[in-house]
Structure 1
Amino acid sequence: MFKRRHLIASAAGAMILPSAAVRAQAWPSQPVKLVVPYGPGGASDALGRVVAEKMTALIGQQVIVENKAGGNTIIGMDAVAKAKPDGYTLLLGSTTMATNVALGFKMPFDPLKDLQPISTVADIYDLLAVGKEVPVTDYASFAAWVNKQPQKVRFACSGIGNQPHLWGELFRSHNKLNMEVVGYKGSADALRDVLGGHVPVLVDVVLPTGNLIRQGKLTGICIASKERSPICPSVPTVVELGMPDLVSAAFYGLVGPAGLPPALVERLNGLCGEILKDAAVKAKLAELGLVTTGSTPQAFADKIRFETDRWSKVVKENNIKIET
């Protein structure tokens, strides 16, 4: 009798345990929505569409990009955090998963609890450049020039509280540079004033600034990466300059709502790996200044926590406040 009951219980358990795997195998039976929490036309939107196009080819179902801009990406993230965890609503997550927390934004969800990291996708590195009227050629001459100025040297960035601004503050404080930020409403405005000689220093991501360095319109001081960028190969890395702790990039990754079945997370992670190995995908992302990455779900979660802690410290130490 005991053996019979044991066999029945084992059989029942066997029927229950694979259910998540069965659901993962059945996915997708309908189109998948990829929420991009930015407006159409920008680099983030372009990245989302490259990922969606390749995923469509791999899974045999249409992956539709849905732009949900607003609230410093909070609107788009909230839509995914509240979505059914069935794999049909995904998010192109970004650095704001960390910086929004660091800046104290009020959010109707917790990025670390209500969203499921699946895989990192790509990074775009920060860099520092100066206008051609600034009499410097490298980091040593730049640091010396900055610290002999009678007033604080202004550095332009594309917005107060965004990732390049926070890295600029980290770079400034790490090197004890006599600098202060000037925030703009976007990279184009910041670039215009640096190119026009109104502000001497620019902190931005590698595109479009790297192209202007290569064209000789700006002088590159350093890039916050481990390896030199093919976009502006003359610019030394922070590692070369002896500042490995300053490696920094705005990141993107594939994210779903919390509660996704583990088997489905694993399948989506594998798909992401396939997408990022594709040579055409790598080439398209390189044109956007992006370096493909890829990771395990746990490594992505660890990265979000690291970036949250890192930028929270920078915000606190520099007393950065923005309207929330």
Structure 2
Amino acid sequence: MRGDKEPQIHRILSMYERLTNGETLIKKEEATRFQISEKSIQRDIDSIRDFLELEKSNEYVYYDRWKKAYVFETKTPGWLRNEEIFAILKVLIESRAFPKKEMDSLIDKLTQLAKKGDQTVIQKMMANEKHLYVELFHKKELLDKLWQLSLAIQAKKAIVIHYKREFDEQASERKVKPVGIIFSEYYFYLIAYPVVKDFDYPTIYRVDRIERFEQTLIPFKVPYHERFQEGEFRKRVQFMYSGDLINFKFKFTGPSPQAVLDRLPTARVVEKLDDGLVFEAEVFGKGIKMWLLSQGEFVEVLGPESFRNELAIIHKKINQKYTK
């Protein structure tokens, strides 16, 4: 019989490999596979268990009564659950962050992180998404560039970027101190300070518009409170417009105050009124003006006075334009 010729170690390694790949083991099926008794299969499974216990591993094999099979588990799983992969893929696809070639590759690789038995299910779920995916107009590959820019940020060395804005015929050369990369509404952005001037706030460059860049030997210190924090900067920048740091107060009477806190992470409620809430917030740049104006009658800027007057002038110009 085959069981007489099949060394026990081969059986054990075969079962262990399939268990770690997310497959389940049923004693009867394994006995048929190797043409030995179920008792022998049980001893093999016990050997796997003993090995894992001896190694003091976070991995273990247990009998799942619902599946009526032996299952491999670990306290730090080597695979993602179907629900996790599906959620990650949906967010990734909706972001439209990458050209189709890179997006397809990411979808395939993330799917391969699932248990082998579940990969086909996820592939079927994603097939239509991949087919209908609409890449952004620039169609530029970004993964390598993002990684190289990240390395330059870690090195804390100035870089020379060749940057081409939307309507530029040729790329212009700019020497900058890179401090972070963030993603917002379809695009990746490089956050950097100019080398030639001492600014209190950084400039924002769309990564897909950087034609190429070279790292220099010029070291620099991180200028934003000695340690630039992407998360803190993200809380204070709206619509990827850079500019001075603004502290302002406004009254909101709209139906969803929660939307204010989601849009402005630094916002906090400082007063509750009968007809609304008063918020304070701290943001960088001009982008916040766009959001405030878009809220119409639901927002009233209370201060500072200079900021309130500036918005009033912009609002007046917009009304004059559309009432002509």
- TM-score tier by shorter-chain length is under 0.3
Relative to its length, the structure with more strand (as a share) is 2
TM-score by length of 2: 0.20
**Larger Cα Rg: Structure 1 or Structure 2?**
2
